[in-house]
Structure 1
Amino acid sequence: MEQNNREGDSVADGNFDLPTKKTINFFPPLYRQRYSFVNDLVNRHKPKKVADLGCGNALLIQMIKSHSCLELIVGVDINEDKIGSQRCKLSPFSGDYLSPRDLNLSIILYHGSAVERDSRLRGFDLVTCIELIEHLDSQDLARFPKVVFGYLSPAMVVISTPNSDFNPLFPVVTLRDSDHKFEWNRKQFQTWALGVADFYNYSVEFTGVGEPPEGAGNVGYCTQIGVFRKIGAPETASCAAEQCGEHVYKVVYSVSYPSLQQREVRRLALANEVSRQVQSLRQSYVSGLSAAQSGDRQGPPPTKANRLAAFSGPVFTELEKRNIEKAPKPFCCGGEFCVPLERLLAYPKVNRLCDDADAMRALLEGTVRLSRDGSAVTVDLQDDDGQ
């Protein structure tokens, strides 16, 4: 439903140059301002579960999915072909595997209507309805609050809709989009929203995006927004699912992102970081040996501080540097270079993945070479290039 606006079919998002009135250009584009508003809310309130009703081409989902707090994002739209075409944009990239999230994240796209009840969306932290309600006919508009506020009962609801007070500023407009059934002025929207909030035990605050041009501030924002917050504790999803198991939406797309909560992902991430750190330490050790053997006197002698800088670099705090320096030192045993697990655990990136030597040993088994007693990671002192 929001898609028409995004593609520039809407007067508010397009450019119309008629001699009677000046073109109004929004920067960033109005749809971006709406999504940025939601993105800022997610950043401030840290919801775990978000549902976007009328998600269209899922641009809002693409924008917010990088937030580390999110564990489930759901998109619902009545146009199955449109949402089904967004799979590649929502799939994990290679970087998501190289740098996995701390928490699990699932994204699900459903084919369905915002005025249908589906218990899988009950008890969410945030439900967004961006440029949705103006597409509903009178019967669906009457059902909308019963479903969203009464049945789904999220902790927060964000509703945006055109402000018809702004429409006279456009060159020629009755409704901003051919699919709109109505467009409310500020008083109409606020009267409706306050009635809904009172009936379903929500508070509501009004704001908007799309500043009017200079001298026309009395018309308000181009897009008006209501932010509703549930008064009292919201119903939990588990309780909701037990009370009613209505599943009317059709799953069009579902994907899970790699996270450190998944053992295999954590295992591979740990092995990659340990291998990277061990090779860095080995190269520093070999370089120091070569300099000593050649009698190289260029530059300062390899003091304790120099060695630590080679190992840790400038990115560590003073406390982290002290922890690294206190940890057991790498050593050589025959032709092998050995780095104690306790040393590796002193490095923050490794410690983030695993903070216990026994757990590290179990995770690393089969991915890197361990010493006979399992207390250190070992590699050949000289690599294939003889370095």
Structure 2
Amino acid sequence: MGCDAISMVEFIEHLYPDTLRRVEETVFSRLYPSIVVVTTPNYEFNSLFPGPIRFRHYDHKFEWTRGEFQKWGQDVCDKYGYTVCFDGIGNPPPECQHVGFCSQAAIFCSSSPHRLKEESEGNVYSLVAESVFPHKDKETLSSDEILKLEVSYVINLLKRAQPSPREQDDIEDVDQIHIPISRLMNFTRISKLVNIESLRMFLVDNGYQLTEDQSNLITPMDDECEDHDGWHSDEGTEKLPSDTETEVGGDQTLCTAPAIDSDNSAELWE
């Protein structure tokens, strides 16, 4: 078919490996645009975020190091006849240049930008699916329905940020995660709708399990919270530091990331 350009911005990390391979074929072989721009989180930058963050969003299936991303990009070039240059968005602090950009970018250029396959007859595109974020539609959803969506989103976000229960000595059941109710209230999109007592009642009424003193939400640990889906090398799956400091080289230089409040972090992950 042929087209001028395609951008995939913070997109590929939401795909499972087999789906990503099909996307590669569709974009680079069937559509084969002159230019393709791809951005994705840089896993190495995550060490600068406060707390033990595995992935930046609970829906991420992987987050690549720079080496992993560049290997993927070069493999695409070798297979589909493109060249690539790598760049990034979001500079690290001056003392932490070793981690690279916050998001990494690849700009692919076709080796034969004017080649066109025989065009198919008629309209080759059809609408496969359409999704509209329901919590943005204030006219059709009640406050309880909006709260239900926000609570579900925040719980999944915090499950990703929580240390594994196997790393917590005070948790007897390693298949469960305890999330303080007070942490949910740190998100203004929840605290604007309910106070903490109303939130506890809401959670119980909607089938969530609380601890005996009702200070923590108990939620099952998903398999995705326990591993990195096999995408990372041993180096990529190292446990992140538990605070905002990370050791750099032999000179013991420390990097400290600016604090990110809970509500802003939710906006960032979206």
The TM-score bracket by the shorter chain reads 0.3 to 0.5
Q: TM-score w.r.t. structure 1 length?
A: 0.32
Q: TM-score w.r.t. structure 2 length?
A: 0.45
